[in-house]
Amino acid sequence: MQRPGTNGVLLGPGHAAPFDADRIAAGIREVLIGIGEDPDRDGLRDTPQRVARAYAELFAGLHQEPAEALATTFDLPHDELVLVKDIELWSVCEHHLLPFTGVAHVGYIPGENGRITGLSKLARLVDVYAKRPQVQERLTTQIADELVSTLQPRGVIVVLECEHQCMTMRGVRKPGSKTVTSAVRGGMRDPVTRAEAMSLITD
């Protein structure tokens, strides 16, 4: 039987949902042997546990509830665009486990319920989804859809601009190339509203 995992991906039986540092460390030791290194030499002896601690941070979002990031809400009479630009993001591509980094621009138009959230909470939401094995498209979509379901706003726009290290330090080797993805929901799909938001983002 399969069940949906925290990343919306189906997990099979036996999937170790809790974070397991010892298992990661054992795996990293195998990786070191696999690349022809001696995992018992001085500089590498603590590396497996060190990597496990680093992964606890890099993948912390797998164990966090996105809705909790937006838990603080206020009712304010503001029915125009709220946009937080240039939110720095660090994620890890699920194909190569290499970083992709860049910025997120997150905007929404509050709904009839008048519900808005703290500005920092938009950045927290980006982090919850970024700190998982990701592809940029899914990351973009998940941020937008969580805003829709939690705030029930009139519209949402999320634009991500990232550089993928799997395209720069290896493989096709194209440093400087940027991948831009967007997710637009509700009234933000209106061409005039969307154009206004995009002009503020690209300003």
Ligand X SMILES: Nc1nc2c(ncn2[C@@H]2O[C@H](COP(=O)(O)OP(=O)(O)OP(=O)(O)O)[C@@H](O)[C@H]2O)c(=O)[nH]1
164 is catalytic: yes
37 is catalytic: no
Stretch binding ligand X (CB under 6 A), from 12-20, 71-79, 112-120, 166-174: 166-174
Least gap, CB of 79 to ligand X (angstroms): 34
Nearer to Zn ion, 49 or 179 (CB): 179
Nearer to ligand X, 8 or 171 (CB): 171
Strands 3-4 and 115-117 turn out to be: unpaired
Looking up tokens 């509050």 gives 110
Beta strands in 32-190 (DSSP E): 73-75, 82-93, 99-109, 115-117, 133-134, 155-164, 179-186
Cα torsion through 120, 64, 74, 121, rounded to 10: 10
15 is catalytic: no
Residue 17 in 3-state DSSP? coil
Beta bridge partners of 163: 101
Eight-state DSSP code of residue 39: T
What is the contact mask toward ligand X in residues 25 to 64, using x (rule: CB under 6 A)? ----------------------------------------
Cβ count near 10 (within 10 Å): 11
Choose which of 32, 93, 158, 159 interacts with ligand X (CB under 6 A): 93
Stretch binding ligand X (CB under 6 A), from 26-34, 36-44, 104-112, 164-172: 164-172
8 binds, among ligand X, Zn ion, none (CB under 5 to 8 A by kind): none
Kind plus residue range of the DSSP H or E element containing 128:
helix 119-130
136 is catalytic: yes
Known binding residues for Zn(2+): 93, 96, 166
- Interface positions with ligand X (CB under 6 A): 93, 95, 135-137, 164, 166-167, 171-172
